Amino acid sequence: MLQSQYEEHQKELLSNQIEIQKQTMQDIGREIHDNIGQKLTLASLYSQQLAYENKAPHINEKIDGISEIINQSLTELRALSKSLTDDTINSRDTIDLIQHEVDKINELKKCVVSFSFNEKNIKLNYQIKSVLYRIIQEFIQNSLKHSKCKNIKINLEKINNSLKLVLHDDGIGFDINSVSSKGIGLVNMKKRAEIIHADFNVESSINNGTQLTIFLTKKQ
C-alpha cells in the first residue's frame, strides 16, 4: 500500500516537473521572439540604413558583414524560439512524431535514417512521449557528430503493455569502458531514461557501431 502511494506520488511529481519545464521553455521562447528578436531586427534595419547612407566602399563592406551576422543570428534565434514554443510533441501521436523527426534528418542527406514499428497506434502520455522523443533526437545528433555513420535505424516495438526502443548506427563505435567515451550525450540520455524509470543499455565497440536500447516496463 505504501509502495503504491509512493509510486503514485512520484508520477505526480514527474508530471508537475515536466509541465513546469514545458511552460518555462515556452516562456523563454516567447521572450526570445518578442524581445531579443525585435532588437536584432532593429539592429539589422540600422545597419542597412548605414550602408545606404555611407559612401565609402571599404566601410560598406564591413557594414554588410555586420548585417549578415545579425541576420544569421536572427534566423537562428527564430528557429530556437519556434522549437521552444512548438507544441509538436503534445499534438502529434508517437509514430508520426518520430517519423517527422526522421524525415527532417533525411532532408539533410548526411546519412540515411530508417524507422520501423510493429504497431501504428501507440498511446503514450506526454511525459513518456517527450522523454523518448528527446532520447531519439540526442542519439541521432550524437551519431551525426561523432560516429561517421551512413545509416541510423530506429525500431519501436510494443510488447504487450511494454515498449522497446532500439537505436542503432553503423558508425565507428567506441570503447564502452573508456572514461572519455562517456560524454554528455550518453549521460543526458541515461538521465532522461531514469526520469521515466526505463531500462537503459548501450552497446558499442570500435568499428562496430553503437546500439542503444530503452525498455519501458508494463507498470509504466
Q: Where are the beta strands (DSSP E) in the chain?
A: 112-117, 151-159, 162-169, 199-204, 210-216
Q: Is residue 220 predicted with pLDDT exceeding 50?
A: no
Percent share of the chain, pLDDT over 90 = 38
How many Cα atoms within 13 Å fall on the side-chain side of residue 182? Answer: 8
Task: Report the sign of the C-alpha dihedral through residues 175, 165, 17, 218, in that order.
Answer: negative
The angle formed by the CA atoms of residues 17, 21 and 22, to the nearest 5 degrees, is 115
The pTM assigned to this predicted structure is: 0.64
pLDDT of residue 13: 60
Q: How far is CA 157 from CA 89, 153, 192, in A?
A: 19, 13, 19
Instruction: Using pLDDT thresholds of 50, 70 and 90, give the confidence band for residue 218.
Output: low
Q: pLDDT tens digits for 32-54?
A: 666 677 777 888 887 877 777 77
Q: pLDDT tens digits for 155-214?
A: 999 998 899 999 999 999 998 887 555 567 888 899 889 888 899 999 999 999 999 999
